[in-house]
Amino acid sequence: MRAMVVRAAGDPSVLGIEDVPEPTPQPGHALVRVAYAGVNFADVVMRLGETRTPLPLIPGVEGSGEVVEVGDGVAQFRAGDRVSWAPVKGAAAVGSYAEVLNVSEQELLPVPDDVPLETAAAITLQGLTAHYLATEQVVIGPNSTVLVHAAAGGTGSVTVQWLKHLGATVIGTVSTEAKAVVAKEAGADHVILYTEQDVVAGVARITNGKGVHYIVDGVTGPRFRQNFALAADRARICVFGRAGGPPEPFSPLELLEKSITVAGAIMTNFLRSREEVLRKADDVWCGVRDGWLVPRVHAVLPLEQAAAAHRQLEGRESTGKLVLHVT
């Protein structure tokens, strides 16, 4: 079978297509023919050698496809089932950039017949991430003002949609006019181009100097401490990624004046049981069906162009989700 393999850590050029042996079903796993693989920063971090995932590796933690065969002990799935997957607590299938993959039963999600597999690959991880960002950090309602960094990205645009569904006023930060259009299409009430505008002054103007109640930050990087100036009293800042690099250091004493909370969050800690996984996935599928949750797909590229997808993602060139068409 064909797979995209990383044999040595490095830039996107280390991604190379190879013929590798096809796996056989493992106990508690289903063998899935991969139709689409979602491209995520987790893949980039693995490619750079910044995780404990050993090399060589086949990247990809998210995808969609059809069950080919099930291993011993699998009760919820059978051959022919349409499925998607993303990491859950205690399990993370790595290798979605391949034509066939073993996925543990606890990670697999049944994809409804009316949801295309391309859509499933584009919304599973980001939808489940947006779920905990919008519903399990603070209570969101019509009186909430939320700032979403990188509001035109795959996760950012989906999170904006979920926050708007709950009634919040959403401010998005983006780097270009084109991304501002995407953020507004996702529902952002206000968009600030941080490359051209003073974000602190913009938020102060929008909120009449009060600041925002909640900040969603998957970027961090060298401007992380700017969040403290954007926050209202007793605001919460949720850090769920580092697309802009490691956050600049700060002292806990900087949080005292406004009683700010800085929280770290990773999706697997919000997917701790099979019941929780299925319930939240059903919320995602319902949002897609009802039309208020629409994944924006920046591009669907063939597997052979995985390096190009990584370059776009790392270069912050994409507006929405990047997806690889595998088979």
| 10-residue mean pLDDT series, the chain (327 residues) | 96 96 95 97 92 92 97 96 94 93 96 96 96 98 97 94 98 96 96 96 98 96 95 98 88 97 96 95 97 93 97 86 95
Element holding 85 (H helix, E strand): strand 82-85
Indicate the domain borders of the chain: 2-126+270-325, 138-264
Q: Which architecture characterizes domain 138-264 according to CATH?
A: 3-Layer(aba) Sandwich (3.40)
Give tens-digit pLDDT for 204-239. 999 999 999 999 999 999 999 999 999 999 999 999
Domain 2-126+270-325 has CATH 3.40.718.10: no
User: Helix, strand or coil for residue 284?
Assistant: helix
Q: What is the pLDDT of residue 244?
A: 84
DSSP state string for 41-56: HHHHHHHTT-SSPPSS
- Count CB neighbours of 215 within 10 A: 27
Distance CA 212, CA 260 (A): 11
Residues 35, 121 contacting (CB under 8 angstroms): yes
Q: What is the pLDDT of residue 317?
A: 83
Most distant CA pair in the chain: distance in Å? 61
Sign of the torsion formed by the C-alpha atoms of 126, 131, 137 and 142:
positive
Distance CA 262, CA 251 (A): 11
Nearest in space to 82 (alpha carbons), one of 132, 43, 30: 30
At position 129, the amino acid (one-letter code) is T
Give tens-digit pLDDT for 118-163. 999 999 999 999 999 999 999 999 999 999 999 998 899 999 999 9
